[in-house]
């Protein structure tokens, strides 16, 4: 059974790392299954849809874009 007390930011960071190409689906699935108690096969299926070269971008996963701070004029 899945743990309901999981921190959603941690799961989002796992997704962003996967989309960014920093980790494989198996690695992220292992972490997600340890975090939530999901079966490893289900967790891996969750991450297989998130590809580094696919349609999903980091901003799509997060829901917002991290903007760089503006440089001061002068």
pLDDT in tens, 23-34: 888 998 999 899
Instruction: Residue 47: count other Cβ atoms within 10 Å of its Cβ.
Output: 23
Q: Which of the pair, 29 or 72, is modelled with greater confidence? A: 29
The pLDDT of residue 47 is: 81
Q: What is the pTM of this model?
A: 0.61
Q: Which of the pair, 65 or 51, is modelled with greater confidence? A: 65
**Domain ranges (residues) in the chain:** 8-52
Counting residues of the chain whose pLDDT is more than 90, the rounded percentage is: 8
| pLDDT at residue 6 is higher than 80 | no
The pLDDT of residue 11 is: 85
Is 57 within 8 Å of 68 (Cβ atoms)?
A: no
């Amino acid at each position: 059974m899945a743990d309901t007390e999981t921190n959603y930011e941690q799961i989002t960071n796992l997704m962003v790392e996967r989309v960014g190409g920093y980790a494989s689906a198996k690695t992220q699935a292992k972490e997600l299954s340890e975090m939530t108690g999901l079966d490893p096969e289900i967790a891996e299926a969750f991450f297989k849809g998130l590809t580094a070269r696919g349609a999903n971008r980091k901003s799509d996963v997060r829901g917002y874009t991290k903007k760089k701070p503006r440089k001061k004029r002068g």
